[in-house]
């Protein structure tokens, strides 16, 4: 018995020596994926139309093959790209569903979201996470930049544009799934206001799927002023804490988690006032999967860093159970 306990303790210590390096070098994965996006690796392989050798890829990207090899080796070991033979029988790199998410454009692109979260503006607040815990009520973003993320975005248009592009990535994933999984939500609607709709990409997908729908893209004036023209969608600037444009239904995605309870109540009241009489539809999609608990945990910490919000999953009175 005593020997078994010593062996278990030794195994735990041995595993800890390995696991700690995940945190010492934890930033590596994000940095390498950002590098892949900036170099345009996935775009180059997609344009080539077939597996690319290291020589072909380095020539196309205009970079030294030696560091590129290390990057590709890292990405392949994580299943982002895969190795296969080209038509000449030479080993090359090929796309995977995950690597296509790193393309700068395309139906499945998530590149803008990665570029946003790995940008210096968004990374710096993570270094103030302990200050956020000690001084409840002030987000790490405010500690790092002296103002909240929305004020910063208003005075820094380039960052605001990156946020809009990142949210458009999310829309390309969630909205088609929603259209496929619960189209009945839109039955009987002739108009829909997307509260905090950014550049209108969510409504662009929705009005294409439901052409009878009139979309109202509602966001802050400086946001909608740079939103593109979308057929069937009207851009309206305003303040959701003051009023929301009238429509048959209100749609919110990645909005309420940005705010505390009192602000959320105010937003929901304004949305209810905006919904036309006898319509009474209110949509708030939550994207979740059976194995999403680890991801949710990361997002909960993210809300501490960038904003002062909460998620519906959060219960501050519950102590997590020990892992088995």
Is residue 264, in this structure, part of any structural domain at all?
yes
Q: Answer with the residue of higher pLDDT: 269 or 299.
A: 269
SS3 91: strand
Q: Alpha-carbon dihedral of residues 52, 56, 57, 58, nearest 10 degrees?
A: 160
219 pLDDT band, cuts 50/70/90, is: very high
Is residue 323, in this structure, part of any structural domain at all?
no
SS3 296: helix
Q: Are 169 and 110 in contact (CB under 8 A)?
A: yes
319 pLDDT band, cuts 50/70/90, is: very low
190 lies in the same domain as 267: yes
Is residue 257, in this structure, part of any structural domain at all?
yes
At residue 135, the pLDDT reads: 75
Upper half-sphere CA count for residue 169 (Cβ side, 13 Å): 21
Give me the mean pLDDT over the 219-243 stretch: 89
At residue 296, the pLDDT reads: 58
At residue 317, the pLDDT reads: 44
268 lies in the same domain as 174: yes
At residue 263, the pLDDT reads: 84
215 pLDDT band, cuts 50/70/90, is: very high
Residue 120 structure tokens: 């210096």
Last residue of a domain, one of 52, 83, 100: 100
Residue 139 phi, psi dihedral angles, 5° rounding = -65, 155
* Segments forming the whole domain that contains residue 79: 28-100
* % of residues, the chain, pLDDT over 90: 43
Is residue 64, in this structure, part of any structural domain at all?
yes
Alpha carbon distance 273, 245 (integer Å): 9
Is residue 294, in this structure, part of any structural domain at all?
no
What are the catalytic residues?
Answer: 257
Which CATH number characterizes residue 81's domain? Answer: 1.10.10.10
Q: Answer with the residue of higher pLDDT: 81 or 144.
A: 81
Q: Are strands 233-237 and 281-283 parallel, antiparallel or unpaired?
A: unpaired
Is residue 149, in this structure, part of any structural domain at all?
no
End-to-end CA distance of the chain: 20
90 lies in the same domain as 182: no
95 lies in the same domain as 192: no
Last residue of a domain, one of 100, 135, 159: 100
Is residue 2, in this structure, part of any structural domain at all?
no
Is residue 11, in this structure, part of any structural domain at all?
no
187 lies in the same domain as 268: yes
179 lies in the same domain as 73: no
Of 40-44, 90-94, 209-213, the range with the highest mean pLDDT is: 40-44
95 lies in the same domain as 173: no
At residue 323, the pLDDT reads: 44
The whole-chain average pLDDT of the chain stands at 84
Q: Read off the pTM.
A: 0.76
Alpha carbon distance 228, 168 (integer Å): 13
Last residue of a domain, one of 100, 121, 156: 100
Which CATH number characterizes residue 279's domain? Answer: 3.40.50.150
At residue 160, the pLDDT reads: 87
Of 233, 236, 242, nearest to 214 (Cα)? 233
Domains in the chain: how many in total? 2
């Amino acid at each position: 018995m005593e020997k078994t306990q010593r062996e278990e303790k030794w195994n735990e210590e041995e595993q800890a020596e390995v696991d700690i390096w995940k945190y010492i070098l934890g930033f590596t994965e994000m940095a390498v994926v950002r590098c892949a996006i900036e170099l345009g690796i996935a775009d180059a392989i997609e344009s080539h139309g077939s597996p690319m050798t290291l020589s072909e890829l380095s020539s196309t990207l205009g970079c030294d093959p030696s560091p590129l090899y290390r990057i590709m080796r890292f990405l392949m070991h994580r299943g982002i790209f895969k190795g296969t033979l080209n038509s000449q029988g030479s080993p090359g790199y090929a796309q995977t569903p995950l690597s296509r998410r790193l393309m700068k454009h395309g139906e499945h692109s998530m590149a803008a979201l990665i570029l946003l979260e790995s940008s210096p503006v968004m990374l710096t607040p993570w270094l103030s996470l302990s200050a956020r815990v000690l001084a409840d009520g002030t987000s790490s973003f405010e500690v790092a930049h002296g103002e909240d993320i929305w004020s910063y975005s208003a005075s820094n248009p380039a960052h605001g544009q990156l946020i809009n592009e990142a949210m458009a990535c999310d829309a390309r994933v969630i909205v088609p799934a929603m259209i496929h999984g619960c189209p009945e939500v839109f039955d009987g609607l002739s108009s829909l206001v997307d509260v905090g709709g950014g550049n209108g990409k969510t409504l662009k997908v929705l009005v294409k799927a439901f052409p009878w729908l009139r979309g109202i893209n509602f966001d802050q004036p400086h946001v909608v002023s740079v939103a593109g023209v979308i057929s069937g969608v009207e851009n309206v600037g305003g303040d959701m804490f003051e009023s929301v444009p009238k429509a048959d239904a209100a749609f919110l995605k990645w909005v309420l988690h940005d705010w505390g309870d009192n602000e959320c109540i105010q937003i929901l009241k304004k949305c209810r006032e905006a919904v036309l009489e006898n319509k009474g539809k209110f949509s708030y999609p939550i994207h979740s999967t059976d194995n999403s608990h680890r991801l949710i945990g990361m997002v909960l910490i993210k809300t501490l860093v960038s904003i002062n919000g909460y998620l519906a999953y959060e219960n501050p009175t519950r102590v997590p159970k020990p892992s088995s």
